[in-house]
Structure 1
Amino acid sequence: MPAAADVPGMPEEFTGPVAYSDRWLWIGIALLVLVLAYYLVSWWVTRPPRVPTVPRRTVDVPDAQQQHLALIDDLAARVRSGDVGPREGHQQLSELVRSYVAAVSTLPARTMALADFRDRAPRELVEAIELMYPPEFAPDPADPLATFEDAVGRSRDLVSTWG
């Protein structure tokens, strides 16, 4: 294309069209990428958490449930009668729940700490273990028998429904 000064009849002071600077194109692309990144991060942060799934073992779950429910009832009766203290009751109850979970699933529940349960276990199991944990390790909880009864109820619910 000939320059404006080369066109016959055009004054010499006129020049041809000038293109936009490339930096405006890159600024526009960067802003578009930032908006897309904002929506992607917003979606990622606000999505619901994944519920961990625990692979099940091929065992007779009803028999394991009945056996562990009977052990829980026996332990609760021994704590109520005073043969076993509430702290020991919490410890044994925790062992019974962990034993049941280890029997029906591949989760190594007997050797897991509370942090491990929070990372890898379903919410209902974590809630049951969290209820037993403080009285299990604290020397003198405020009302150990009341927390034991709550823990027994939660344990029975867990063993009855989980599996």
Structure 2
Amino acid sequence: MLAGGELRPPADYDERWLWGAALAVAAVVVYYVVVLWLTRSGRRTDTDDSPTSAGHLSLAGDLDALEAAFKRGSLNAREASQRLSRRLRAQIGHITDVPAETMTLAQLRLVVAQKAAAPGAGAANGTGGAMSQVPVLVAAIEMIYPAAFAPAAEADEQRFVGAMRLARQVSA
């Protein structure tokens, strides 16, 4: 409806713009869903037969499996040291409720010493007697710490064997 040439009808936009905008919004929504799904907590990405996987129930059983893999040669000293460290750290984390798996050795020593010195250490999570195992586990980690980071050829088998011996004191 034109009134003396002053009014003009609305401009017609091509439908492709509408579909393009709808697809862009849908792409953003899909992106956020995928990111949230892939980064949800509690997701395990390692499905190997490491001593910390779900199939292993006890520290003693884990140590047996690790030692057997080392003896038959499927793990070199470095890999065995890394897996032993991971398993011992998981045990320390279970006993003390500290994130031992992600700590350096110096941080682990400090936090464990603080936990041990705290009044009622271990009583909060029912691990009072188990708290006495933690210094032995930390000592075993200290023993294999250099080997876990050494090149495969330089990893010391004796350190692994000594650390395994210490860890068995706790699991016995």
Q: Verify: 1:141 aligned to 2:154, yes or no.
A: yes
Cα–Cα, structure 1 residues 104 and 118, in superposed 2: closer, same or farther, change >3 Å? Answer: closer
Contact 2:96 2:112 in 1 (8 A): no
Give the distance between the partners of 1:115 and 1:82, measured in 2 at CA. 31
Give the distance between the partners of 1:149 and 1:110, measured in 2 at CA. 21
Partner of 1:121, secondary structure, is helix
Cα–Cα, structure 1 residues 68 and 124, in superposed 2: closer, same or farther, change >3 Å? Answer: closer
Greater radius of gyration (CA): 1
Q: Which runs of 4+ in 1 moved over 6 A?
A: none
RMSD (Å), alpha carbons: 2.1
In structure 2, the partner of 1:70 is: 61
Contact 2:137 2:166 in 1 (8 A): no
In structure 1, the partner of 2:94 is: 103
- For structure 2, which runs of at least 5 residues remain unmatched after alignment? 1-56, 114-134
Q: Which amino acid aligns with 2:166?
A: R
- For structure 1, which runs of at least 5 residues remain unmatched after alignment? 1-65
Cα–Cα, structure 1 residues 115 and 141, in superposed 2: closer, same or farther, change >3 Å? Answer: same
> 1:159: Cα distance to partner?
4.0
Q: Percent identity?
A: 33
Say which structure, 1 or 2, has more relative contact order (CA 8 Å, 6+ apart).
1
Give the distance between the partners of 1:146 and 1:69, measured in 2 at CA. 20
Q: Which amino acid aligns with 2:101?
A: R
In structure 2, the partner of 1:132 is: 144
In structure 2, the partner of 1:6 is: none
